[in-house]
Structure 1
Amino acid sequence: MDIQKSIESNILRGRDAPPSHYLFKIESFSLLDRAPLRKYTSDYFEAGGYRWRITLYPSGDKLNDGEGHISIYLELMVTDSFSFGWEVDVVFNFFIMNQLQNKYVVVQDWIEKRYHSMKTEWGNPKFLDLETFHNPLKGYLVNDTCVLGAEVFVVRSSFKGECLSMVKEPATCFHSWKVNSFSTLADSNCVSQSFGSPKWYLSLQPYGVAEAKGSHISLFIEVSNIPPNTKLFVNFILRLKDQDQWKRKDVFHQYNRVFSSSWRSWGKRNFMSLATLKDPKLSYLVNDTCIIEAEVTLLGLIN
């Protein structure tokens, strides 16, 4: 089918009702076309429970083989708050108004796409060729003005919901762990006594793990008895004490993390270099003993 027959076929598919979700009018289109910008992005609109916006390339999205055409895309907005692994299946289409017939024309078939964290924008780089668009007999650009729109229908969305219940007066539990005979510790995991409720443990790898192996100590905090289908929102501090009471240059790291049955441990692999720990001019290791402290505050429960 040649371009003329395709356009004529699309004109027959025009309708009186405007697009139900978004409509925008561009006046002085030639000025937009000559402006020093590649694209124009619309304000957001809502459809199917989500926020969207349209991006228009008046001279074509040349990076995606859209040269010689108007290119148009639909972007899903505000995805940072979505839970991990989210997906949204969408059917959508773009419209352009035939101002001579006062009809809203669909110039392509409906688009079915899946939005996810790696792809939040879909569209058509060859929405309408510029020769057809600028042809005054076609009615798409009249008095340097055009009208475009979009309809968006969410077919399916995949999310894991949760409820965060913050603790009104969170209590902090403290634990101090004296690690004796550090030089005799094997290259394996050392675990402290349990403390607090739920039960917490400190986990020390004296010669590091992963990229820190052989150069740093690795220090983590672990929880053992999380209730089923529950997550813990926790603020915790891991500290290696400076045993010189006059200097008191403790090394510490503070985090806000979510603990669950599948992620029971958080911490820092390169907590402190072995060279710093063993430096005789410092006081982190005294008489072959170091002191590790933890402060744990349960901020909330997630169900």
Structure 2
Amino acid sequence: MGACASSSRGRSNQGKNQKKSSRVAAVPFTPAAQAAAVAASPKMEEKSSFKWRIDGFSSLLDKQKGWTNSGYFEIKGLKWYLQLNLKDQKRGDKRDYVSLMLALSKTSDLKSDIVVEASFKLLIFDQAYGKHKEHEFSHHFQTEENKRSGVSCMIPVETLKEASSGFIIGDSCVFGVELISLTTAKANHSSEVHVQKTNGFSAREAYTWVIDDFLALKGRCYSPEFEIGGCKWYLTMYPSGIDDSGEFLSLYLHMSKPEASFQRSGMTVELSLSIKDQVTCNRNTMTGQCQFVATEEGDGWGWAKFVEVKSVKDQYLVKGSCLIHADVAIIGSSE
């Protein structure tokens, strides 16, 4: 199961199979002025931190191997998120390990020639004795292929689960990152999320988006809104890819703008997105675990390279029609 990729898109229109011919910039969410300000600051030494508290932690321990993403957080004007894997393995070792990574979000909108050089600590917090598990790293964040810090096998899962370790208290576990230093340069030339406890996974619910004329779609397309777990959602699809290259179809699930009382909350979700034909149910499916935070911009998670456009035309269209299927299970809510 691969990690979800982020997509930040405002939603200006709704409705089934809506079309928008104008191209949308790949990362429009962060203002260009903010990126320019970051690039203009050659070095920032102050420490910043982020904590990710997950209650109902046994729900994640029981799941199959895969990555779970935190919500976005901001450090030094850039957007980041953490990625957690509780079933990682080292070569020659059959034990499951806790792995943690820091990732720079595409919404940070850095120019391709800007490198973010960061020194930071990844942490698992000992909630009983204060003897936190920490690994210190340095990493150059820049391109899509290099926006993640690399896998860190922090400790064996069996060690994490030991009652005497202090890492899990009341089925709650806390992960985090602490920035030591950050520098921006040209290439070669404490906020906290609290995921409330739930009684295991919610009932799985699904939504199917019927697309009658796929070949006529241009640009970004929106599904109708639908309700799962008491929240409103919608899908966005880029038939020629979010980069408009024509090689891959991009597909994302978004949480719609909530009421004011729900504005700053979010939830951890296991999602599965599929494309299939309407006769044989031949399908392509991607799954992941991600934290959705409800915002006015409608932040979403999904896959930029969901399926090759050629495969869609050859395998999933029946008389020009196909189905997009979203399968969602809510693990917990956040405050």
Larger Rg, first or second structure (1 or 2): 1
Q: Which has the higher contact order (CA 8 A, sep 6+)?
A: 2
Using the size of structure 1 for normalisation, the TM-score is 0.46
